[in-house]
Structures are given as structure tokens and as C-alpha cells.
Structure 1
Amino acid sequence: MTQRGDINRTGAELELAVRVVELVRAAAGPAAQAEVMVQHDAEALTRFANSMIHQNVADATTTVRLRLHLDGRTAAGSTTITGADGLRGLVDRTIAAVRLSPADPTWPGLVPPTPLRPSAGYHGSGERSGLDFGFDEATARATPAERAERVRDFVRAAGGLETAGFCRTTYNSAAFANSLGHAVEGRAAEAAIDGIARLNGSDGVARQAGGRLADLDGAVLGARAAAKARAAERPVELPPGRYEVVLEPDAVADVLNNLAMFGFNGKGFAQQESFAELETDQFDPSVTIVDEPLGSRDEPAPGLPFDIEGTPRESLVLVRDGTTKAVAHDRRSAAEVGAESTGHGSEMSRTWGPMPTHMRLEASPAPSEAPTAPADRAGPTVESARPLVARMERGLLISDLWYTRVLDQKTLVVTGLTRNGVWLVENGEVTAAVSNMRFTQSYPQALGTGMVLGMGTESVLLPDRWSGVRYAAPAVHLASWNITGNASG
């Protein structure tokens, strides 16, 4: 097990980044355009299965990434060896690679010296580093015992049901420097719990992410997962067809994930492979989607305040009141369409395209006259979804989606399966558990004009399968969801 990362590293990454730029200048001359990202990633994970902790692991790695443009050619390299020999080797390898690389006529150039954008949690001048963008030091320093407390509470609240999952804390600190003199640094921390409860083959799920470990309540999540598992026993089978649905936040997170990867992807947009049409009403007026890497007034920043190209990040409105307003760009995709980078460059964006990583589907309060099922009759749904369920005459309540795959990227038709609980709703009440079903559905179409019948009152922060990505989603009431198969086929 590798030791937990050192959070007392203020300035260490920036010193490394500047040193690599100087090495490039000495070896390749003043004409070389170099950008360097130094990132220290530390993750600690407490796993549990069979209702007991079986693994505590921690890993910390510092990675130095260099991208070099010289004589009209571009090459990149990286190393985790941060001593003098490792840095010199990185520079020498990248210079050799750039001389063998093809011409790069679309090189977008380097970011000039640019101040970072202040966030709701940032109290500095906004002109240098951004080390205080709502950073929660207690989460970065979290111990195995602190994570174990959340796991213990989850297991106890499940009331004897078999449980499994994890509690995770992450810490990232990074710095960027380039040969134009642009230099920035920042740090971020995050915590997440993801767990299931199981009863006689029926599973219930509960997840939550946040910038503070102290905000995660294992007891609340364990009780929720257990309630879902108990309610999912003895499922019935329903025929395929189009159903009115309430998607709970976990299921909505999958919708946001696919919209991010294939819809609001700047490379896909530039290559006309995305459904996105700017300034077009492509969604229901109730839909507003924002990418929020700098956090909000009440939530610490979930991400670093700049991207791998050194571009400052800020909130990006992707959809406002149903109108598509923007897609995510790095410098290359932005140059291709005559736009500006939105700060979404990453080591993956050069191949897979830049995409949002901190998307929030804005919640909207339920109308005051909306019926709300009493707690004892509301079934397994989360509290903020109860008004949506109470309004449904006949349809499905879906907890979670998984194994989703894109069938058509342009229209974003996705096929996948339900899991961790599906229920039949009749006249505003949950009447039966339903076996898992396959669906084939265009996600933008499902959120189209007139198709969104209601939003939950709270956006829940949810972790993705990989650290560094998360979503905030309310429950959503949709007019139609295309179920194409059931447990029998």
C-alpha cells in the first residue's frame, strides 16, 4: 500500500513545472513552445463487502506532462520520475519525438498569462494561484478510521441486510507553466460513498459525493439502500413499450454522463458528430445544465481551477431554459470552430475530445399544489422525488441505469439496462416491484420540449465511476421512455 499523498506541497508542483520549461528552453532554444502540467493525485479507498471492511488502499502519484511545439510540429510526453534525471529524460525524449512528428498546421498556440477566475469559495486576488478555491483540508487529510465510520453507519442502518461498496477520498494539487510565462496552481479534494444493500437477490443503491467528507452521512445512505432492496423483492414482469417514468438522481447521472461525452464534446461538435446546435431550443424549457468546476456558494470546488493547457476554468452554461448555449472546448477544438477554450483540455481531450466533468442539471421546486405521497406510502423513492411519483397515473420509477452504450452518436440513442430497483406506479402510488428491463432511448429526445413533466426539488451530488468526475442531478419526471425488453428477452 502506497502512503497517502502529502498535502503540504504548496509551490512544489509549480517549481517542477517552471524547471521543465527552463530545461526545454536550454535544450531546444527560445523558439520552442512548451507547456507543462505537474499534478499530484492521491486517492484513498475503504472497500466493504459482506457487510464488513475488507480493504483499505491508498495511492499517491505525481505526474509531469510536457507538450512541445517546435518547427511546426507537436509532441507530448510524461513521466512520474521527478528527479533531475527524470525531468531531463522527459525533455530529451519529447524533443526527439517532435522532430519525428508530422507537421501540425492546427496548433492553437499557448495560453498567455491569464488570471484565474475567482469562485464562490475563493478569497484571494484571482491573479495567481487559486489554492483556496473552497478547498477542504480535512477531507484531504481523511484517515481510514474516518472513512470506516461512514461505512459502519451505512452497514448498521441497513438493518442486517448484506451490504457492499466503498467510501473514497481524493486530493489533487497541480501547477501549470508555459514558455509565455503563464503560471498557475491549485488544489481540490473530494469524498464519495457508493453502496448497495441486498435482500434475496434484490439490490438497493445509495450514492453521494461532495467536497467535504463531513457532509456524507453513511446512516442516511444505508437506510435508503436497504429500503430500496426490501421494496424490490418479488418483482413482476411488464411488457416492452413506452412508459412514463420518474428517473431518480442516480439514473439521471447516466443521462448527464452520455450528454457530456457525446453531446457537449467540443471535438464531436467540431466534426458535426454531436446533436448540439447552439442557440437552438433542443430541450424542454425546464432544462438548465451547467458545468461547475469551481463549485458553488455552499459547495467546495470539485475540480482544479485550470485545465491541462493552463486555461482558467469557470462555470459554463451548456443549456439555459431549454436552449443549447455552449459545448466544452479545449484550445484545439475551439480554434477549429472559431470559439475560445472553455477550460476543458485534458490528457484525454486530444484523442476523445473535451467534455464537461462537473455537470449539474438544475432542480426546480415542485408546484405548491402538487400532491405529495405520505412517507409511509411513498415506497422506495428518495424524498425529493415523491411529488413526481404522486403525479404519475401509470408508469415506472427507475433507480439506476447501467451498461449503457451509444447506438447513434448524432441523435444520442442509447441502449442499456435498469438496475438496483424498478417499480410500477399507479395513481401516484408504488404498487409493485418490476424486474430489470432493457431500454433504447434518445436522451435528448427524452428531455425534449414537452417531454419533461417535472423536476425534483434537489440536485444530489453523485460520483462517477472514476474520481475527478461527478454530477449533480435531481429526480426527473419524463413523459416517455422506450422499454425494449424485459427479463424474458
Structure 2
Amino acid sequence: MSDFDFSPGDGLELAARIIELVREVAGRGCEAEVNVRHEAEALTRFANSAIHQNVASATTGVRLRLHTDGRTAGGSTTLTSADGLRALVERTLAAARVSPADRSWPGLAPPAPLWLSPGHPGSDEWSGFPFGFDEATARADPAERAGRVRDFVDAAGGLETAGYCRTLSVSAAFANTAGQALEGRTAEAAMDGIARADGADGVARLASARLADLDGAVLGARAAAKARAARNPVELPPGEYEVVLEPDAVSDLLENLAVFGFDGRAHHQQQSFAELGKEQFDPSVTIVDEPLGGREEPAADLPFDDEGTPRRALVLVRDGVTTAVTHDRTSAARAGAESTGHASPASRSWGPHATHLRLEAEPLSGHGPSAGGPALIADSARPLVARMRRGLLVTDLWYTRVLDPKTLVITGLTRNGVWLVEDGEVTAPVSNLRFTQSYPQALAPGRVLGIGPSTVLLPERWGRSRYGAPALHLATWNVTGNASG
């Protein structure tokens, strides 16, 4: 198959064939679930302000999970011929027969329809909002990605630049022996680039379901403005600082909250900070997992998870109150709950994680001048910076590591620009800082001084998640070191 001849229905037909093979080889007493996934990914990478790599791949993979005689095993293949599929079934069955007893097997997802998606006819909750699979993004050619790279490099005005522009399309299908059968598709585009000036770096990132939304010139100008403004930084002593975190930094908060905080497996094991029904966050904080897209974006992911559970929006925090955690079928069975559609190939081992968190933006009025110029400060952060008396503007966080999962104390570093803000004005660049901070405590009641008026969709650095992040104005952030130690 080529990149684009995996047509609607192909995955379901392939999945149904495998289910029939399971019944033929293992008998009707064997429970089985099949995931068929076709991915077409293309990447244009640049360094030293020139494209040095353009790659594309298209693969079709099949994953099979069997449960028979109280034992479970899984297998996968990219060989979709009759012989390849039969070999997959036979070796997975052989592995199941010698596996230990699986006392936590939750059973298969029953037949259930997909939730109506945003803008879908008949959807009362989301009617009128944009939704759909962007064919132009799925079929984007190298010239379209290269054009955005050229615009980024040109907008940097001679600074050294590096980064990537990527596109991805996924078509998938699911079937199990309980009768569940679903299919869907999704597309994504992302751009991530840095500019460097005299050893100082600036960054700009953006993700979208549409390549057309990525403007390389806007991103390049912002990265360059940050790099130029970050030269010759001063050092500040450790201590508690008021901060405005730009969306790139906020995405790290959302990622860690998703992985270590709202994980239903960790919550059931009492290894998470989450306490359902308790006001753990400032009343301004609402966090939603939106795999089907939201008010500003088409679908962010497939409309079903790896166990065939239909996905829908899940409110994890509403007005400061923790309202839900994420579950696959295994964690839900243990907790006496229902799956929230967060099964993944690793969720039984590592827990079910939200991958499309959005921190709801907060409209602001009377926010004063646009401090620091249009490119240096993110739009979502500008009104927050303008009303800060003295504190830090932080672009990005990285190398963050969990010190205590129960309280979600994180240590990490800033990068790509930190500035001192005094009376609403950026007054000096600051060298990179180490921090040690409980993320839930930073967002606790009374600690959130403001949330930016717009949300930016950002790609996860190491995976396929996306986070919708506004800027955040926080009362305190615990800086424990600077560039000298």
C-alpha cells in the first residue's frame, strides 16, 4: 500500500479477517481484540539554517490481544498477507497458553457507537464547531513543508536556526470477538524551531490538525525576537518568584499532570495527588481532555481507544475541583469505575494517560499595554506580564523530573528565554534557572493570579500528544539555583 491508498473500510475488513482467523485457530471460547493502524508520517528537519533531512514513511501495523483459559498475551506484525496474519494468531495463542494467569482481565469492550464529534450533524453539545479530517495535511508534499522552513529561516533575519516541520495521518480500525467494530482517522501538523544569537536561544512551536495553520514566518520571527532579547543575561538568587509561564512552559505542567496526576491506576494505588470532589486548584482552573477536538480544533485523535472504547471529552478539573481521572478497562475494573477511553498499548503496565489536555483560557479586560513588543512575548502572556509588579517571564521548561509522585514535586530547568519583569515591563534577560516545585501547589487556590486569554496548541516533545495551553500568572515559583549552581 502507498501512503494514501489505505481507504475507509480497509482496516475494518482486515480486522474482521483476523477475528475469523482467531475463531478458526483458537475456537470461539477465546476472547480477542484487534487494532489495525496505518500511519503516514513525513518530516522535514533543518539545522544551520538549511534543510538537511527529508524523510517519509507509511506503515500498516496489526496488534492482537488474546485471552484464553484465564491467560492473556499480545502480538503484533506488519505482515498483512494471509500467511503473516495466520502466523500472528498462532504465535500469540501459543504465548497466551504459557503465560501466567491474568486475574485482572477486565473483559472486552461491548459494542457501542462512537460519540458524536464536534460539528457533527445532530450533536447538541458541540454543534457548529469545526471538525474533520484535513486531506490537505495528510497529502502534504515536501515542498509545502520546505516552504514553511524557508519562511522560518528568512524571518529569523540571519540568526542560526534549527528545527523541524512534520505531518502525520493515521487511519485505524478496531474489532473484537464481542462484536465491537469501529474505524476512524486523524491528521496532525507540527513545527518546532529555535533561533540562536550569541549563544542565546529563542523558540517557537505550534501544532494543529491543519498544516495550513502553521505560519513559518510568524514562528521564525518570534524565535528570533526571543533569542536577541535573551543575550547577556543577569543572574538572580534562588527564592520564591512571581512568574508568568508562557504556553510552552505550561504544556510541561499539563503533561506531568496527565502522566502522574490524573492517571486512574496511580489514583487507585494512592500514588496520585488527585482527590475526587475536592477543590485542589484555584477556582479559575478548568482542565479538559479533548481527544475529539474542541472549540478551536478538529479532532485531535482517533475517536476510540486501543480497547475499542469510544472517546469523548472528559473534564478532569472544573472550577478548581478535581472531577475525574483517566481509566482503561483494567484500571476501571479495579477502581469500580468505567473506562474513560484511555487505553493504550502500555496502559495496563504504566497506567492510562490523557494525551490532549487543555487548560481553559480566561478572557481578560483592561490588561494595559503590550509589554515587550509583539514578538517577544506570547499573545496569551502579554496581558499577564503587563500587570505584574516584579517577577519572571518564563518561556520554556525542560529536563523536568518527578521527585515525589504523590505531591507531584518536580525539579527542572528553564530554557529558551527568561526575563525579569518590573512594573509590567521586561527589564533584563535572566540566565537559566533550576526550580523545585509542586505543580498542584503552584495551581492551588489563591496561587493563580491570572490565565491568558488565548490557548496555543503545542506538540509533545517526545510523542504524539498535544496540549492546549494558555499562559499562566502564578503567585509563587520556587527557584532553587541559577547558572552558577
- Quote the offset at 1:5 in angstroms: 2.1
Q: Does the aligned pair in 2 maintain the 1:112–1:181 contact within 8 Å?
A: yes
Cα-to-partner distance string for 1:199-235 (whole Å, 9 max, x where unaligned): 0000000000000000111111111001100100000
What's the CA shift for 1:124? 8.9
Correspondence 1:160-171 to 2 at 5 A: 160-171=158-169
Q: Distance in 2 between matches of 1:277 and 1:18?
A: 42
Label 1:96 to 1:133 Cα distance change in 2 as closer, same or farther (>3 A): farther
Q: What corresponds to 1:302 in structure 2?
A: 300
- 1:445 paired residue among 436, 441, 455: 441
Q: Distance in 2 between matches of 1:59 and 1:459?
A: 31
Q: What is the alpha-carbon distance in structure 2 between the residues aligned to residue 448 and residue 458 of structure 1?
A: 21
Q: TM-score, normalised by structure 1?
A: 0.96
Instruction: Identify which range, 435-444 or 102-111, moves more after superposition.
Output: 102-111
1:396 correspondence with 2:360: no
Distance in 1 between the 2:182 and 2:176 partners?
Answer: 10
1:474 equivalenced with 2:470 (yes/no): yes
Residue 405, structure 1, aligned to residue 411, structure 2: no
Structure 2: how far apart are the matches of 1:192 and 1:175?
A: 24
SS in structure 2 at match of 1:307: coil
Q: Secondary structure at the match of 2:300?
A: coil
Partner Cα distance (2:366, 2:140) in 1:
44
Listed one character per residue, the Cα deviations across residues 366-418 of structure 1 (whole Å, up to 9, x for unaligned) are 1x233233564x78211221111111111100000000000000000000000
2:104 match: secondary structure: coil
Retained in 2: the 8 A contact 1:154–1:219? Answer: yes
Amino acid at match of 2:368: P
Structure 1 unpaired stretches of 5+:
127-131
The change in CA–CA distance for 1:157 and 1:7 in structure 2 (over 3 A counts) is: farther
Q: Number of paired residues?
A: 480
Deviation at 1:274, TM superposition (A): 0.6
Q: For the residues of structure 2 that align with 1:23 and 1:223, how far apart are their CA atoms?
A: 56
Matches within 5 A, 1:77-476: 77-123=75-121, 134-366=132-364, 368-373=365-370, 376=373, 380-476=376-472
Q: How far has the Cα of 1:82 moved from its partner?
A: 1.1
Task: After superposing the two structures, state which structure 1 stretch, 29-38 or 292-301, moved more.
Answer: 292-301
CA distance in 1, matches of 2:312, 2:318: 16
What's the offset of the Cα at 1:466? 3.6
* 2: CA distance, partners of 1:99 / 1:340: 29
Contact 1:451 1:478 in 2 (8 A): yes
Amino acid across the alignment from 1:373:
S
Report the CA distance between 1:123 and its aligned residue. Answer: 4.7
Q: Which amino acid aligns with 1:291?
A: D
- Bigger mean CA deviation after superposition, 229-238 or 112-121: 112-121
1:418 counterpart SS class: strand
In 2, distance between residues paired with 1:7 and 1:26? 29
- Give the CA deviation at 1:95: 0.8
Runs of 4+ displaced beyond 4 Å: 123-126
Match of 1:129 in 2: none
Contact 1:379 1:429 in 2 (8 A): no
Task: State how far apart, in whole Å, the 2-side matches of 1:386 and 1:101 are.
Answer: 57
For 2:370, the aligned partner's letter is A
Q: Distance in 1 between matches of 2:265 and 2:178?
A: 26
**Distance 1:456-1:7 versus aligned 2 partners, 3 A rule:** farther
Q: Is the 8 A contact 1:121 1:301 kept in 2?
A: no
Out of 184-193 and 460-469, give the one that drifted further: 460-469
Describe the shift of the 1:448–1:371 C-alpha distance in structure 2 as closer, same or farther (beyond 3 A).
Answer: same
Residues 404 and 269 of structure 1: is their aligned pair in 2 closer, same or farther, counting only changes over 3 Å?
same
How far off its partner does 1:192 sit?
A: 0.4
- 1:174–1:187 Cα contact (<8 Å) kept: yes
Structure 2 residue identity aligned to 1:53: I
Sequence identity of aligned pairs in percent?
A: 71
Which of 59, 74, 77 aligns to 1:76? It is 74
Structure 1 CA distance for aligned equivalents of residues 46 and 121 of structure 2: 38
- In structure 1, give the amino acid aligned to 2:451: M
> For structure 1, which segment, 289-298 or 27-36, has the greater mean C-alpha deviation from structure 2 after superposition?
289-298
DSSP 3-state at the match of 2:381: helix
Tell me by how many angstroms 1:467 deviates.
Answer: 4.5
> How far apart are the structure 2 equivalents of 1:298 and 1:361?
13
Structure 2 match to 1:51: 49
Quick one: which of 475, 479, 485 aligns to 1:483?
479
Distance 2:140 2:298 in 1: 16
CA distance in 2, matches of 1:7, 1:295: 25
Do the aligned partners of residues 468 and 379 (structure 1) sit closer, same or farther apart at CA in structure 2, a change above 3 Å counting? closer
Structure 2 residue ranges without an equivalent (≥5): 125-129
1:281 partner SS: coil
Q: Deviations over 1:134-165 (max 9, x none)?
A: 11111000100011111111111111111100
